[in-house]
Structure 1
Amino acid sequence: MAQADTGAVAEDATLTVSAANGVIVSGAASGGVDSDIDGDTLSVIGVTTGTAASVAAVGTGNVGGSLTGTYGTLTLNADGGYSYVADQGAADGLRRWRDGDGHLQLRP
Structure 2
Amino acid sequence: MDNTVKILLLKIIKFNGDISPLIKMGYEYSQIVKSINEEINDGNAERKNGLLGITDKGNNLIDTISKKLNRTDSAKWIEPEIESKIPKIKINFVYLPNQNELTFRFDK
**TM-score normalized with structure 1 length:** 0.27
Larger Rg: 2
**TM-score normalized with structure 2 length:** 0.27
Q: Which has the higher contact order (CA 8 A, sep 6+)?
A: 1
Bigger strand fraction: 1
Bigger helix fraction: 2
